[in-house]
Amino acid sequence: MNIKRLLLISGLIFGIGLIAIGQNKKAIKAYETFDAGEYYLAIDEFKRAYQQITDKKEKMHIAFYIAECYRITNNSRQAALWYGKVVARDYENPVAILYYADALKMNQNYEEARAQYMHYKDLVPDDPRGADGIISCDQSLEWIDNPTSYQVEEMKFINSRNSDYSPAYARDDYQELYFTSSRDETVGNAEHGGTGQAFSDIFYSTMDKKGKWSTPLPLPEPVNTEAEEGTPVLSNNYNTMYFTRCNVSKRKPLGCEIFKVERNGNSWGKEESLGIASDSLVVAHPAISKDELALYFVSDIEGSTKTPDGKNSKDIWMVTRDNAGGKWGSPVNLGSPVNTPGDEVFPYVHADGSLYFSSNGHIGMGGLDIYKATKTETGQWEIENMKYPVNSSSDDFGITFENERESGYFSSSRKGRGDDDIYAFLLPPLKFSILGTVLNEKTDEVIPDALVKSIGSDGITLETNTGNDGSFRFLLKPGTDYVFIAEKKGFLKGKERESTKGITQSTEFKTQIYLSSVEIPIELENIFFDLDKANLRPESMVSLDRLVETLNDNPTIVIELGSHTDFRATDEYNNDLSRRRAQSVVNYLIEKGIARDRLVAKGYGETTPKVVDKKDNEAYPFLPVGTVLSEQFITSLADDDQQEMANFLNRRTEFRVLREDYGGE
């Protein structure tokens, strides 16, 4: 039983007794070969039978099994071709449509795959695989359009023309790599009938000082034997290795076991089976925790999740012990949400305690996808797809990490040839910066030589001065909140905020900080009162709260709050109304903790009409810059709406700085 392909045997629909309805000897031999797990050999036998048989129903059965052989041996292109043949002829079992969609998805033909999943969902509405397939196609296209920041590169110096997969670091300097391979240099010389390749062995390669990997060589006996060995994982000190061995007799799989072996100088000692289950069962793909008290593995032993047709799927299980030399306890199934009716395989325990694994049962991009599982505070597993480009439409599995970096290796069949290769991955350190400009709030002109402070939630404060163009720049750290404060003599301090928390891609932020001159009144936007009343309306609070912040940022200023009306009503009425409105603003600021002796209320009535500035002109082009909005000018406007807009601009609340020495000696 091939160490990787063992997971794909589940889910077959027919048995040999149901299929072999004819007496064609070639067909019977093909079914027997298939039933023995020799899928690669069965392909040619089925094809010969397909050419000879004339019965259309039996011919379609054979075509289906040719597709099955290609599916199990991971040739998605040929699988799609043969499933397409049977689907086009309305094959009696709708699962052919599902597998056709799966093969199309693995070929990255997401649009056609989606249509086939829709077809399957209509025929078998109770099977969630149809709806999940639709979601996976839509999600995959989105992930490809918006890839993560991981960089992925094929390890050409290590990979061969056969399958190479399941890498593991063998030294703490990460310059020796163990991996599984069925290349020509394996210990045994038998060919695996299920894959057409040699029985796999564990190989190793080392990196020289120039960063070049050596030619891979197989580990000697007793690790590698005539049987299949692979999926190595080493303990945290690299002195103990756990691996899988699968024994096969002629046309009869004998199951897989997990072995461990201790390092003996520069070699490995005698291997020892962990004895987790009988040797007729599948127990494979070991993963050891950093403290060596938990071992994860893959199995379809009793208690595993059931597939849609009632068989045991491949699940991730765990055994634990009290100390590093102790006896392993009874296997425990990780259960949902890690395990599904599909197959969960190739677990890996990161140094930080998170669990990585591959699955074709969770919604993914096609074939096996790599997932990260982390435990929440309540002890529940939270599952996250690693997305594109780590995952692809093909099989992606067998990941390993450096302890300190988001860097390592994984396996993938993404070349589309059906064979697996090893890829390196790296998440470059996130780089954040901010480029800002300090501007005059009234004129939009740049302010050179302003002092800008960067205050981070990590407790670090940095300073810089703006250049002649008013610009400044800071480098930022990941996961940090920042406040940027700008100041210059003759202006009130201004500030902006930014955060790198939750940002998963390197980013250069842009910002503008506006400073208000202390020489001219500063209008408070969106200060509203009820008609003929001095009561502040609720929508005014946002602007006033910003004024509270400005006063707290500039603790030495004393300000006058001035309220203005339009020319309508009598002078006496307007003066009184504006005074009461100004006092309402002062009262609000006092309630917010501003000292009373920093505030002066003044009502101007209609005595100080507004002078149109650049921003007013941009909003109301019919008002020329510099125009005084006097009663005479407003009444000269022919349009009633324009007159109302001009009156609206006159009805304003401003503040101006009276002193800058509050609190001084």
Per-domain residue ranges of the chain: 5-145, 151-426, 432-515, 522-659
pLDDT tens, residue by residue, 120-170: 999 999 999 999 999 999 999 999 999 998 999 999 999 999 999 999 999
Tens digits of per-residue pLDDT, 583-617? 999 999 999 999 999 999 999 999 999 999 888 99
Q: How far is CA 299 from CA 3, 332, 665, in A?
A: 12, 11, 79
DSSP 362-408: SS-SSS-EEEEEEE-TTS-EEEEE--TTTS-SS-EEEEEE-SSSSEE
List the single range of 177-181, 361-365, 453-457, 525-529 with lowest mean pLDDT.
525-529
What pLDDT, on the 0 to 100 scale, is given for residue 504? 83
Answer yes or no: CATH 2.40.160.20 is held by domain 151-426: no
Band (pLDDT 50/70/90 cuts) for residue 198 is confident
Q: Which residue's entry shows tokens 């203005």?
A: 564
| pLDDT score of 8 | 40
**Residue 530 backbone dihedrals phi, psi, to 5 degrees:** -70, 155
Instruction: Taking residues 37-54, report their average pLDDT.
Output: 90
Mean pLDDT within 480-508? 95
**Residue (of 347, 351, 345) closest to 402 by Cα position:** 351
- The whole-number average pLDDT for the span 209-217 is 93
Reduced to 3 states (helix: H, G, I; strand: E, B; else coil), residue 131 is helix
Q: Which pLDDT does position 21 carry in this prediction?
A: 46
Once rounded to an integer, what is the mean pLDDT over residues 548-571? 93
pLDDT at 413: 93
Percent of the chain with pLDDT over 70: 94
Banded pLDDT at 54 (limits 50, 70, 90): confident
How high is the pLDDT of residue 148? 92
CATH code for the part of the protein at 5-145: 1.25.40.10
Common-topology check for domains 151-426 and 432-515: no
Q: Among residues 319, 368, 328, 377, which one has the least CA distance to residue 345?
A: 368
Residue-wise pLDDT tens digits, 223-250: 999 889 999 999 999 999 999 998 866 5
Confidence of residue 192 (pLDDT cuts 50, 70, 90): low
Higher-pLDDT residue of 209, 481: 481
Percentage above 90 pLDDT, the chain: 75
Residues 545-559 have a mean pLDDT of 94
Q: Which CATH class is domain 432-515?
A: mainly beta
- Determine if the pTM surpasses 0.95: no
- Phi, psi (degrees; rounded to nearest 5) at 79: -60, -45
Report d(CA 77, CA 194) in Å as an integer.
18
What distance, in Å, lies between the first and last C-alpha atoms of the chain? 88
CATH architecture of 522-659: 2-Layer Sandwich (3.30)
The span from the CA of 618 to the CA of 168, in Å, is 64
Tokens encoding 539: 């929508």
Mean pLDDT of 42-71: 92
pLDDT for residue 588: 94
Q: Is the pLDDT of residue 306 over 60?
A: yes
User: How, if at all, do strands 461-465 and 451-456 pair?
Assistant: antiparallel
Helices (H), 507-655: 541-553, 571-591, 614-619, 631-636, 640-650
**Smallest Cα–Cα separation from 358: which of 346, 342, 366, 349?**
346
Please determine, for residue 251, whether its predicted confidence score (pLDDT) is greater than 70: no
Mean pLDDT of the chain: 91
Helices (DSSP H) in 503-606: which residue ranges?
A: 541-553, 571-591
